[in-house]
Amino acid sequence: MSKDLTIATIVGARPQFIKAAPFSRLVAEREGVREILIHTGQHYDSNMSDVFFDELAIPKPDIQLEVRNDGSGDITGRMLVELDRLLPTLEADCVLVYGDTDSTLAGALAAAKRHIPVVHVEAGLRSFNRAMPEEINRVLTDHLATLLFCPTGTAVTNLANEGITRGVIKSGDLMYDATIFARDRARERSSILDTLGLTPGEFRLATVHRAENTKGKPELERVADYLRQKAEEMPLVLPLHPRTRTVADRLGVSFGAVRLIDPLGYLDMHRLLAAAHEVLTDSGGLQKEAYFHRVPCITLRSESEWVETIDAGWNRLWTSPETSRERTEITDYGDGAAAAEILDALIGRMVTTAAV
């Protein structure tokens, strides 16, 4: 390369910080590649943003846009305006986005409109539920992307079914890379079990944040009732997302005996996750992280993007009956080297394109 390959990476929410970590650490070690990390500000709580950069050993963002998610419906538009102004000044060779948040879609739209190649990491996931904002974000981003890095073979097939075959690469799962990094680090540094007085294997861990579960009192009450029942059987800890707490307080929804705590840092969350008897969540990422720690999971939704975890017996939908299903290993997520796979392929494609 005659000059450094410059990657503008856009993040804004907890799952993206986690996925960015192994990739950003690798870029920092690689000659001839430069990353400009842009934080949209979508998650602004320090426990859900700043702490992740510290614990995941990656540099703080180069640019902070501070577009706060205040609950209004115009956040994607506000981020798009800011990114449209910013991207032409960076002279980036590509824009890299992760996952399926509003930051993902805003970054992809801003780059595409400026004719900057879009790289989508965690492409091809589908819940086939268009009522989910995340599903709209991931579908539109995939159709804007030049390079699409898929964590599984199912994701590759989903894209092919939509006519997307060019630039599609099966890379393995970056969150597996991140979990390997966090596993031993959490054992050494986290004291959350002692702080909360929890015994490994004798508590459940839950998270709730999806719009489908928090959009109104009937939806949130249904989830809260389910968690209250589980808490009667065994202690249940719920790190409460700021938006979920706000909605619950406004609607008067009680979680009963569920132990509510503030959002946790990445290492504390992994320590709890590894020690839990079971995980109950509406998070896509946590379903996989539970499997990486070999902890059974119940997904608080009517569908899952991570069908592999269900097929292998480690996960089930809360709407499905409990069955004793044999648990098997999942090989589709790779061997923990997804970051290297993505970076090598990205360099090869970008250099080849620039040479044409």
Sign, CA torsion 246/250/251/252: positive
Number of neighbouring beta carbons within 10 Å of residue 114? 13
Tokens of 285: 């990422």
Number of neighbouring beta carbons within 10 Å of residue 34? 15
Q: Which one, of 87, 91, 40, lies nearest residue 68 by Cα?
A: 40
DSSP one-letter code for 74? T
Tokens of 23: 């990739």
Per-residue H/E/C for 122-184: CCCCCCCCCCCHHHHHHHHHHHHCCEEEECCHHHHHHHHHCCCCCCEEECCCHHHHHHHHHHH
3-state secondary structure of 255: coil
- Residues forming the active site: 209
Asked if 355 and 5 touch (Cβ cutoff 8 Å), the reply is no
